[in-house]
Structure 1
Amino acid sequence: MARKPALFAAAAVTLTTTVIAALTMTPATAQTSKGNVLDGAQVSAADNVAPDMLSAMARDLRISPDQARQRLAREHTAARAESAMRATFGDAFGGAWLNGDATTLTVGVTDARQATLVRAAGATPKTVARTEAQLNAVQARLDAASAKAPKTVPGWYVDIATNSVVVSTKAGAADAARAFVAAAGVDVKSVRIENSTEEPRPLIDVIGGNAYYIGSGSRCSVGFSVTGGFVTAGHCGTTGASTTQPSGTFRGSTFPGRDYAWVQVAAGNTPRAQVNRYPGTVTVNGSTEAAVGASVCRSGSTTGWHCGTIQQKNTSVTYPQGTVSGVTRTNACAEPGDSGGSWLANDQAQGVTSGGSGNCSSGGTMYFQPVNPILSAYGLTLLTGGGVPPTVPPTTGPTNPPGGGTWAAGKAYAAGATVTYGGSRYTCLQGHTSMAGWEPPNVPALWRVG
């Protein structure tokens, strides 16, 4: 016991210097008058963000493009600070989260000495009763008992900011939720029952970020390119199922339990580190996980680009097919057809669309499967830095369609634009950049006849 304070003293030096070094800031920069590590965030951390992403964030988060750029810089700083603190505290880490406008990073602490270290690093400490590991253990026990979850419980998740595990329930069914918690044998003091109107379901059957087809014609979307193929949602296809556009084979798929899969593409298909943002593309430059409270944007061909914030991580959600655990809960909208699509925090891959409730008219709650566990599960390497979407070979510009008419690949079309192809007239349903393989007859989510 006499050695324990010495360990914390060493950690104080390590944490402070590690965080400051990770943020590429001098101690004087980190220690501002407010003592907030985010005050020193440099806009240059978000300089390369695509203008269309800034516009989407401004629209959905109701901020200006410049405020969106500043927010991304603060979130970039917060992610690196959180990573350093997590490595230092280990299993004693109490979690970290951003406030609503991402101006303050709060860190849960269970010891006064931890609080001193957090303040020294420029973050705000908050005393909590349970560590993140303890909350995750509660969630894991609920996961293990998921077969006993009543249909009135749409899911459960670790809520770091309230230091509890939330079990969602339909109105009037709280007793059934409590019985489920009791049957799981968890500490009831760590659980909060919360009413919910969610009706989660997998989002499948129409294209997402980049279209691909499964088996006899069902459609999903490419999540992120990896060496030899791409990752996507597990509910899109089972192991061994074949795909077209691009052609390939599901080499691994898990659903329910988790919601991830990977497809190995056939020769002639070239995976690139790009995500389609309708129109244009975003280059993927890594997969650093954003903090709770950070902004996140989603690509889907049904509803285009939409942004929101990360609400909770390590969530469990119950679909009609079963419970999926380890997904991230957000308030970014999506609709059926956005399944498997890409979630990005600036240029960092976050995950692939799993499912959710609501729509982009009334709002809703959506979940994505984090990408790093997918890469780890299958031993995959995320492709980063340049290229074009993996569904087609690179193109150098508009090309004449083989079916004849005015439609061309490599051209940006706005909603309402009209083209001809194969003797028919088509009207564009949503803005996108056309690609070979996306001829109007092949993509009814993008074009309608007439």
Structure 2
Amino acid sequence: MNDELAGEERALGDDRTRAIVVGPYPSKGPASLSRDPGARLAEAVGLAQAIDLDIVGEVPVALNDVRPATYLGKGKVEEIGETVKAAEAGLVSMDCQLSPVQQRNLEKAWGAKVIDRTGLILEIFGQRARTKEGALQVELAHLAYQKSRLVRSWTHLERQRGGFGFLGGPGETQIETDRRLIEERMRRIEHDLDKVKRTRGLHRKTRREVPYPVVALVGYTNAGKSTLFNRLTKAEVLAQDMLFATLDPTLRQIRLPHGARVLLSDTVGFISDLPTMLVSAFRATLEEVTLADVILHVRDVSHEDSEAQARDVEAILEELGLKGEAEGRIIEVWNKVDCLDAERLESMRVAARGYDLRRRPALVSALTGEGLDDLLTRIENVLAESRTTLALELPPEDGQGLAWLHAHAEVLSRETADDGRSRLLVRVAPERVDEVMRRYAAARSQ
């Protein structure tokens, strides 16, 4: 009956590529303890589904040793070959990094296209890039990946839409990529990205003249960053239960409890074993994170591999040079508490109270809004550590001066004296202190 349904589905014109996902994970050593194999395989399936592949099989493999020729042992290669044939799969996604030789040998053995984790992530990024900068960054990473590989036509995937053709498409020819042409193209892209980087620098300079502090969202892919971004900014950034739903960075303005305005930045999600070439290519985008005044590390605490995901994010932050010096401006946001039962939620609250006050995580639900007021207060408090509090008075006729303070500082309190003068307590960024002191001669530091 299942075979009949499958045949009927194909007859009805389901043009998605049939794929099998193989998860070859170490069965011994430190790597075998760091992540749950089931969760890793589920993530690999999610990556494949993110480019609309029709997953017809999932094969976990307990890996003892990596074979130079085929990555897997001979018996396992033959076993998977039978599965590929029986499922009529045109693609096998290997959740590991394959050498070009291993990839070619597996393709010959299975009679199907083989793609590794790096190639799959590149394909997702290729489909999701919406801005010119994002497209350039993905193409640069793809070219670096292809330098040692052949560009071939994958004729059985001609109907696969979107992306940069990593999964093939109509009109491709079976030729070996010319290394010199690739390197010339990479140099041109790097030149174009340098111009983008300079433009970003000018935008940042303009923002600093306002100035608005930047609060950057980082976290594992699908941790709920875009949902949190939308909830705080009332924007409509794509937020789906999908890996890498957000690729291009987005900036929106929000107000903190005492009126200060900040720019909130939503960034690309991180993932374990993120290809080095992608970290390098997206460094220009990720500069928004490195220069942020506050970094919100958003975690999906309902996920079974939440701790391992957090370690992966921290490793990438360290690679960006943000470990240590940025410790005081990183707030852990434990998201999706609405997905926890009462007992687990209480244990999370107890765990959070175990941290010292400055490092205490914020428990929130981006979906329901729970805990977001406290989170905004936390952001305000972190920003306040580098800001100066000033007391000043304004005559009743100085409405313009009052408006300027509301636009460029945080007005913490305001009292009106009997003579109509306004007594204000304001908090200003370090670069604004001299300007405030010049504008309001009677201002004094608190």
TM-score tier (shorter):
under 0.3
**Bigger fraction of residues in helix:** 2
Question: What TM-score do you get using the length of structure 1 for normalisation?
Answer: 0.28
- Which structure dedicates a bigger proportion of its chain to strand? 1
More contact order relative to length (CA 8 Å, sep ≥ 6) = 1
